Structure 1
Amino acid sequence: MEWITHYGWIIWLVLILAFITIEMLSLEFTFLMIAIGSLIGMLSGFVGAPWWLQLLIAAAASVLLLLLVRPPLLRALHKGEDPTKSNIAALIGMGGRVVSTVDAVGGQVKLANGETWTARIAEGSLVPSVAPGTPVTVLSIHGATALVAPTEGDPS
């Protein structure tokens, strides 16, 4: 137990370096806050706090940093982000027209962005199949297949 009292700062230093390394891989500020809390715990040891108090101080500091400092940092980080949807999220809700008959097994649709996708009728649709030329809306993507439902009007 005396070893922890004399060399506890080494344990804190190893923990801080490990948390910073993990933070560099995750980039979400969680382990950075825990590393700073560990630094505060280490500093409390330098002023003479016993090891159990160092742990409590480090834990309290980490929780406070996670609750009070991390959210504003994340907001500042994401402030200039492009809000435009991309990838699959951009396809959900997109309109299109049936190219070859779409039913529960398969078919093809040409989406408003010009892409041709294999498609199936979405579960819960009231029609068993959709004829070519019919406007549809993409409800979800399952693998490389668009799950669609017929719509009224122009899909684009």
Structure 2
Amino acid sequence: MLDWLITNSWLVWLVLFLLLAIIEMMTLDLLFIMMSSGALVALFTALLGWPFWLQVVVFCVVALMMVLFVRPVALRHLRRGPREQATNVERLIGEQALALETVTDHSGMVKIGGDTWTARSSDGTAIPAGARVAVERIEGATAVVYPAAGPGPFPAQ
């Protein structure tokens, strides 16, 4: 039986490739597809007639390299979507706002779009009421803002 598997190792790699691809379709975590690509490369080495031990080494090396180098890049690109797909507070980052009261490094109020937010200055400087600001980040229920450069569009009042 073992001799038959080694002789027909291309079939082993094909089944492993398909099995890992199916598992990836169910999990969607980009781990099993990386291992599946290693099995695909091992399948080609089997078709070229390379020894079985070398096929296993190729599978391990390719799968490991894919997990270490390709998966992080793919995950980064998947998580970063277009601005239109940003949700909740992510959509507010970079938006212009109006300072309703003086914004300091500890307190303040701004109007972002049609909503009023507590705010604080990102660099610690006081921003006077009525000034244009831009949202740097959101920390809890507080907008961290900085003075906006240029006229820029105002949010709806």
Please indicate the TM-score interval, normalised by the length of the shorter structure.
0.5 to 0.7
| Counterpart Cα distance in 2 of 1:134 and 1:40 | 60
Kept in 1, the 8 Å contact 2:38–2:62? The answer is yes
Aligned residue for 1:103? 104
Aligned residue for 1:21? 23
When residues 146 and 51 of structure 1 are mapped into structure 2, their CA distance, relative to the original with a 3 A threshold, is same
Kept in 2, the 8 Å contact 1:16–1:36? The answer is no
Aligned residue for 1:141? 138
When residues 105 and 34 of structure 1 are mapped into structure 2, their CA distance, relative to the original with a 3 A threshold, is same
Which residue identity does 1:106 align to in structure 2? S
Kept in 2, the 8 Å contact 1:104–1:121? The answer is yes
| Counterpart Cα distance in 1 of 2:94 and 2:82 | 19
Kept in 1, the 8 Å contact 2:16–2:39? The answer is no
Aligned residue for 1:94? 95
When residues 22 and 101 of structure 1 are mapped into structure 2, their CA distance, relative to the original with a 3 A threshold, is same
Aligned-residue CA RMSD (Å): 4.1
Q: CA deviation at 1:98?
A: 1.7
Kept in 1, the 8 Å contact 2:20–2:32? The answer is no
Kept in 2, the 8 Å contact 1:96–1:155? The answer is no
| Counterpart Cα distance in 1 of 2:132 and 2:44 | 66
| Match runs of 1:1-150 below 5 Å | 3=2, 5-7=3-5, 12=13, 13=15, 17-18=19-20, 20-26=22-28, 28=30, 31-41=32-42, 49-59=50-60, 84=84, 86-87=86-87, 88-111=89-112, 113-123=113-123, 125=124, 127=125, 129-150=126-147
Q: Quick one: percent identity of the two aligned structures? A: 28
Q: Structure 1 stretches (4+) deviating beyond 6 angstroms?
A: none
Which residue identity does 1:116 align to in structure 2? T
Secondary structure of 2:133's aligned partner: strand
| Counterpart Cα distance in 2 of 1:84 and 1:138 | 17
> Which consecutive unaligned segments of at least 5 residues does structure 2 have?
none
When residues 96 and 48 of structure 1 are mapped into structure 2, their CA distance, relative to the original with a 3 A threshold, is closer
Number of residue pairs matched by the alignment: 137
| Counterpart Cα distance in 1 of 2:134 and 2:41 | 55
> Which consecutive unaligned segments of at least 5 residues does structure 1 have?
none
